[in-house]
Amino acid sequence: MHEMSIAAAVVEQVGRVAVDQRATGVTTVRLDVGELAGVVPSALDFCFALACQGTLLEGASLRTRTVPARARCGPCDVEWHPGMPPDLVCPQCQGARAELLSGRELQIRDVQWADGPLPARQ
């Protein structure tokens, strides 16, 4: 289950920043997860709760936002939703030189600290 390694990596990264910022805890972590990232949201939620135990993130909620997949044809510049599994053949010119623009994301969007938002860095 790769959701556990993802959850552990998120907890580690957020925990490092929390220590650097002298935060007392974390209430919410928001992630952007591409629909092609191969992540099962319910499994990630479960693993996140486990990975948070005994850390500054214990009790934090995980909020995921699904990023839809988008592809663009190089030759004719048309954009489309490639679906699942992704179809990277252009629906307009039938070309196979598509570029995947989005849908593989897996990134921390923001964090809500228990003691409020981070002050702006100087």
- CA-nearest of 80, 103, 75, 77 to 91 is 80
- Structural domains in the chain, sorted by start: 2-69+103-113 (3.30.2320.50)
Whats the size of the chain, residue-wise?
122
Q: What is the reported pTM?
A: 0.83
How many Cβ atoms from other residues are within 10 Å of residue 6's Cβ? 21
| pLDDT given at position 120 | 45
Which phi and psi (to 5°) does residue 14 adopt? -65, -40
Residue with tokens 């850390």: 55
Residue with tokens 């925990």: 15
Three-class SS of residue 8? Answer: helix
| pLDDT given at position 84 | 84
| pLDDT given at position 85 | 84
Residues (pLDDT < 50) of the chain are 118-122
Tokens representing 75 are 């030759």
Q: Contact 61/25 with Cβ under 8 angstroms?
A: no
Q: What is the mean pLDDT of the chain?
A: 91
- CA-nearest of 58, 68, 4 to 34 is 68
Q: Contact 31/109 with Cβ under 8 angstroms?
A: yes
| Beta bridge partners of residue 34, listed in sequence order | 67
